[in-house]
Structure 1
Amino acid sequence: MQQDRQKSLGTESIPKLLLKFSVPAIVGMMVNALYNIVDRMYIGHIKDVGQYAITGVGITMPIMTIIMAFGMLVGIGTSASISIRLGQKKRDEAENILGNAFTLLLILSVTITVFGIIFGNSILDLFGASENTVQYAKEYINIIFFGTIFNMMSFGLNHSIRAEGNPKIAMYSMLIGAIMNTVLDPIFIFTFNLGVKGAAIATVLSQVATAIWVLKYFTSKNSVLKLKVANMKLNKKLVLSIFAIGVSPFSMQLAASVVQVISNTALRTHGGDLAIGAMTAISSIAMIFLMPIFGINQGCQPIIGFNYGAKQYKRVVDTVKYAVMAATSIVVVGFLVVQFFPDAVIGLFNNDEELLSIGRVGIRIYLAMLPVIGFQIISANYFQSIGKAKISMLLSLLRQVILLIPLLLILPNILGLTGVWLSGPIADGLSSIITAILFYKEVRLLHLSHEESFREGLNNA
């Protein structure tokens, strides 16, 4: 069966393969994004205070990103290590890694919870909370801190379900949490009249349900690997191997949290509290259109990697071509929606006239380069798929960190709030140009390699 799957990667039509591999990944990414998006939608419509409540939640975004970073550090590092051990037929070692991951997640989540409860208020002040918004930020994040252990257990261990060859179960895990959160949000926020606290409670309860589902899976007969107490004692060598692999996505997430803090500070300085609320809505809308592209990335990665290794370079180029076409179609639709219907999409999160006025201008400028982002993200992933991880990381960091941070520090001081909005499209545009140059050179090398392989085939014949 495994040989048939591998054979199909080298023979089946590229569009069919992309659909087969990308659709489950897209569903998974979209479901994962729904957690935060649904919270923000309901919070933004709390009567009389929604505009400040959504801003308060926006202030907490860097903290949420940091929590996710630690989940990725252990989760992605563990899943990659488990995949390698299973490939080597070392099931006992894989189970040992799983047990160590459980203990690491437990220690890190308790540490984050204690640290957050003690220093949470100071962190919120540092991250840009004001008199109008700090109350809502505190109400939300203090409850989220108490749920950190369930968040990290469900998110961190879910990667390992995928690693042992059960992507559907991993997808169901995320679906359970997202659906439960969507149902509970309006009940706790509006029916029980708990406001922002209700949104946080709904999120934590959903994470509890997901964590129970994941832990039950690893102690049931359905899992390949079993979670055993005997494997929970930390092994220095295994811990270091987990961290060595997970440190890259961990660093990316930490960098993203720094960008969010700098952005929030600039928004508050040059546009006031409601500018942060507007950006919270804008980033949520962007997420809706970018998550499917990350799903396409996950889908095309094994296809590109297999065919690159098999020296079927035409199939490699075709995979990238179709992936870019699909991604560009999605972001072009997103671009048209935000340019022609800005009030409608921002209104999903809040209908305050002042916030709408700020957001209407902001979304049109900040997402002005959406049509090229699909190409940039797919191309950066291409380099990772063929084993050139350093170039891939450079290109990813270019757009999200290397260009964006200096622009956020410089432009607002010259152009005010407009400078904050312009930072996004300028970073997107410049990173896309640099990506295009590197990608063009790589494709030329592929064409030369393809011609050489073809000539060798003729000579051998």
Structure 2
Amino acid sequence: MDYGKKRQLILNGSMPKVILTLAAPIMLNNFVQTLYSLADTYWVSTTLGTTEVASIMLVFPVIFLTLSLGMGVNIAGTALISQYTGSDDKKSSSRIAGQMFCFSLILSVVLSIIGYFATPTIVRLMGGEGDVHKYASQYLSIMFWEMPFIFLFFVYNSIKQGQGDTVTPMKLNVSGVILNIILSPIFIVVFKLGVAGAAIATVFSRGLFALYAGYTLFAHKNGISLSVKDLRIEKEVLYKIIRIGLPATIGQSASAFGFIFLNAFVLAYGDDTMAAFGIGNRINSLVLMPVMGIGNALATIVGQNLGAEQKDRANLAFKSAMKLSTLFMITGSTIMFFLAETIVGVFIKDNPVVFAQSLEYLRLISASLPLMGFFQVFVGTFQGSGHTLYAMIMDMGRLWGLRIPLILLFGNLTTWGSSGVWYAMVLSNGLICCVGLVIYLMGNWQEKVIHKNILAEQ
């Protein structure tokens, strides 16, 4: 990839073209990842059974929570590298990349060791008993050894995305997902390894391409490249990364805990409501893919333009992203609203209660989809600017400050029943977007978090 041309496109090109060029590979990557999740669940459910599926679903929040501990460093890395790339300071970008690589590798190995030995206790604390405890422990203990590979790929993705390259990480990730889809039935069915086979297939597939990604960071000299001397810890540089990344880590971790609590509240209304919630979210996640891609791409665009002292263009990126996300979400919400009955019918055949609740949830949430587009744009803007505290406010405020309290309020003071959960979700999305707009209008996010050269910061 010609990173010089990519930088010129981001700093000078037509903004809608820039956003879509960077966002399209991310959208495709998210889509393929969703297909992988569906395929993996299919093989476990059809060849093993519901107990095995329940075991895997039980520990997914633990995996997400563990991953969230490393996401903050990479969000900070994307912001810093994109801003140094915008200011044409390749040396400082390489030093940031080296510190990310070292810290993520150490952190992931520590988390893997702790998680592996703590797995039986973790599963028991989550309520796993009998066969569920057995299968969930098998799956989770193996998945903890995937952490170094995932963290390594996080670093690779952050470095590439900071330079404006969203295509190369997409190619590697899609290749890993395809290999995983191929290997899962082989390990589960042919080798008869059960849920452990599903975990082994995932670790092997992602590990293979993560190691290749790490190799290219040292072997290829195009763009940011690493050398052995970049792998020594530099306290001042690492402190800067952690200082910027810590709010993002807290926000991601709080979101993981928040969704665990949210699931508990939904489950309190019964299995039918939980099933409707799960089906609605799965459909909703497909419609949200375009704006999630736009939000991720926006982080790079805002970062590079702030690094190049182009605040007006960073604002233009925000406004263009708002227009594009609104277009995508109005289109998606219109289709989802009028075809909701047909879409829900694909998932629900013989349970009228779940069908009715899924239909109500889907139609209600479709009306608020533009708000979710706004949310992704605000978060992408604040993360790209390096002001991750604002992104943390958006993440934590939506769940802990608004949604969960509203669910409790509606549950205790109204007779809406499960519908109160759906109303709380829509209202929390709207209110947090108002908070995001206030933060945006304050303008503090436009101050870049780098100096001319990282040496000057020491």
TM-score w.r.t. the length of structure 1 is: 0.78
Residue 365 of structure 2 aligns with which residue? Answer: 370
The answer to whether the 8 A contact 2:72-2:245 is kept is: yes
Q: Name whichever of 322-331 and 334-343 sits farther off.
A: 334-343
Alpha-carbon separation, structure 2, partners of 1:311 and 1:217? 32
Distance of 1:278 and 1:196 partners within structure 2: 26
**Hey, what does 2:47 align to over in structure 1?**
46
2:22–2:166 Cα contact (<8 Å) kept: no
Task: Give 5+ residue unaligned stretches, structure 1.
Answer: 348-352, 447-461
Aligned length: 430
Distance 1:88 1:317 in 2: 22
**Structure 2 residue matching 1:260: 3-state secondary structure:** helix
> How far 1:217 moved relative to its partner?
1.1
Shift of 1:177: 1.6
Counterpart contact for 2:99–2:231, Cα < 8 Å: yes
Work out the CA distance in 2 between the residues paired with 1:197 and 1:294: 31
Tell me how far 1:254 sits from its aligned partner.
Answer: 0.7
Overall identity of the aligned pairs, in %: 22
Change (3 A) 1:91 1:293: closer
Deviations 1:364-392 (A, max 9, x none): 34444332443213323444538687666
User: Offset of 1:136 from its aligned partner?
Assistant: 3.1
Shift of 1:336: 4.9
> Counterpart of 1:7 in structure 2: which amino acid?
N
The whole-number CA distance in structure 2 between the counterparts of 1:278 and 1:142 is 30
Give the match for residue 449 of structure 2.
none
| Residue 290 (structure 1) aligns with | 288
In the alignment, what sits opposite 1:455? none
User: In the alignment, what sits opposite 1:236?
Assistant: 235
> CA separation of 1:311/1:226 partners in 2, compared to 1, >3 Å: closer, same or farther?
closer
The residue matched to 2:14 in structure 1 has which SS?
helix
Q: 1:428 to 1:54 in 2, by over 3 A?
A: farther
Quote the Cα distance in structure 2 between the aligned partners of 1:416 and 1:58: 31
Deviation at 1:189, TM superposition (A): 2.5
Offset at 1:68?
Answer: 2.0
- Which residue type is aligned with residue 320 of structure 1? M
Q: Match of 2:141?
A: 142
The reply on whether 1:271 has 2:266 as its aligned counterpart is no
Aligned mates of 1:147, 1:86 — CA distance in 2: 31
Deviations 1:171-214 (A, max 9, x none): 11211222112222222223333332222112111211221221
SS at match of 1:44: helix
Aligned-partner SS, 1:129: coil
Residues of 2 paired with 1:95 and 1:441: CA distance?
A: 31
Change in 2 beyond 3 A, CA 1:269/1:184: same
SS of match in other structure, 1:56: helix
CA-CA distance at 1:27 after TM superposition: 1.5
Q: Could you give the per-residue CA deviations for residues 304-348 of structure 1, whole angstroms, max 9, x where no partner exists?
A: 89699338989965652332021232244345555433252368x
Distance 1:311 1:99, change over 3 A: closer
The answer to whether the Cα contact below 8 Å between 1:140 and 1:200 also exists between their aligned partners in 2 is yes
Amino acid at match of 1:117: Y
Give the secondary structure class of the aligned counterpart of 1:234. Answer: coil
Shift of residue 437, structure 1, vs aligned partner = 8.9
Assess, with a 3 A threshold, how the Cα gap between structure 1 residues 335 and 177 changes in structure 2: closer, same or farther: farther
Task: Report the Cα offset of residue 158 of structure 1.
Answer: 1.9
Residue among 332, 335, 350 paired with 1:333 = 335
Counterpart residue type for residue 291 of structure 2:
I
Give the 3-state SS of the residue equivalent to 1:324 in structure 2: helix
Deviation at 1:69, TM superposition (A): 0.8
Amino acid at match of 1:68: L
- Go from structure 1 to structure 2 and tell me whether the alpha carbon gap of 1:309 and 1:24 turns closer, same or farther (over 3 Å shift): same
Cα separation, 2, equivalents of 1:177 and 1:145: 18
TM-score with structure 2 length normalisation? 0.78
Structure 1 counterpart of 2:359, one-letter code? R
- Say which is worse superposed, 86-95 or 196-205, in terms of deviation: 86-95
- More divergent stretch after superposition (83-92 vs 211-220): 83-92
- 1:35 and 1:178 in contact (8 A); partners too: yes
Question: How far apart, in 2, do the equivalents of 1:122 and 1:276 lie?
Answer: 26
Match status 1:423 vs 2:418: no
**What secondary structure, in the 3-state scheme, does the structure 1 residue paired with 2:226 have?**
coil
Q: Which residue in 2 is equivalent to 1:100?
A: 99
Q: How does 1:385-404 map to 2 (within 5 A)?
A: 385=381, 393-404=392-403
User: In the alignment, residue 327 of structure 2 is paired with which amino acid?
Assistant: M
Determine the C-alpha separation between the residues in 2 that align with 1:318 and 1:232: 39
Structure-2 change in CA distance of 1:312 and 1:26 (3 Å) = closer
Residue of structure 1 in register with 2:344 after alignment: 342
Amino acid of the structure 2 residue aligned with 1:246: G
Say whether residues 1:9 and 2:5 are aligned partners. no
Deviation at 1:426, TM superposition (A): 1.9
Q: Show the 5 A alignment for 1:23-102.
A: 23-47=24-48, 49-50=49-50, 52-102=51-101
Counterpart CA distance in 2 for 1:41 and 1:29 is: 18
Shift of 1:244: 2.0
For the 8 Å contact 2:10–2:301, the answer to whether it is kept is: no
Tell me, yes or no, if the aligned pair for 2:398 and 2:432 is still in contact at 8 Å. Answer: no
Give the aligned CA root-mean-square deviation in angstroms: 3.9
Relative distance call for 1:259 and 1:42 in structure 2 (3 A) is: farther
Q: Is the 8 A contact 2:292 2:376 kept in 1?
A: no
Relative to 1, partners in 2 of residues 1:298 and 1:415: Cα closer, same or farther, differing over 3 Å?
A: same
After alignment, is 80-89 or 196-205 more displaced? 80-89
Q: Is the 8 A contact 1:26 1:295 kept in 2?
A: yes
Matches within 5 A, 1:179-328: 179-266=178-265, 271=270, 282-299=280-297, 309-310=311-312, 317=319, 319-328=321-330
Aligned residue number for residue 152 of structure 2 = 153
**Local SS of the residue matching 1:166:** coil
Q: What amino acid maps onto 2:133 in structure 1?
A: V
CA distance in 2, matches of 1:317, 1:295: 16
Residues 79 and 160 in structure 1, CA contact (< 8 A), matched pair in contact too: yes
Q: Give yes or no for contact 1:128–1:261 (8 Å, CA) kept in 2.
A: no
Pick closer, same or farther for the CA change 1:391–1:401 going to 2, 3 Å: same
Aligned residue number for residue 453 of structure 1: none
Provide the residue aligned with 1:379 in structure 2: 374
- Partner of residue 430, structure 2: 432
- Structure-2 change in CA distance of 1:222 and 1:311 (3 Å): closer
CA distance in 2 between partners of 1:434 and 1:266 (Å): 21
Is residue 219–residue 227 contact of structure 1 (8 Å, CA) maintained in 2?
yes
Mark the runs of 5 or more structure 2 residues left unpaired by the alignment.
Answer: 444-458
Distance in structure 2 (CA, Å) of the matches to 1:46 and 1:423: 34
